[in-house]
Structure 1
């Protein structure tokens, strides 16, 4: 059970990091291209 929690924790952290990086980049690109 602990193993599962660790895996879920890692997955959520990586998703969080991805979102934290992708969202500003996407917003920046939109602003840049004027969409």
Structure 2
């Protein structure tokens, strides 16, 4: 088992990736250019 802190960070990272891909797919569907956002 991963420590809680590491597991939470991993889940947040995965969530951000999924949301980014979803937004990129939605932007492509609406004809909007997808731009990568670096934090």
> What is the TM-score normalised by the length of structure 1?
0.66
Q: Which of the pair has more CA radius of gyration?
A: 1
> What is the TM-score normalised by the length of structure 2?
0.62
Query: Aligned partners of 1:4, 1:30: CA distance in 2, in Å?
Result: 39
> Which residues of structure 1 form unaligned runs of 5+?
none
Q: Which has the higher contact order (CA 8 A, sep 6+)?
A: 2
The alignment's C-alpha RMSD in Å is: 1.6
The 5-angstrom pairing of residues 8-23 of structure 1 reads 8-23=8-23
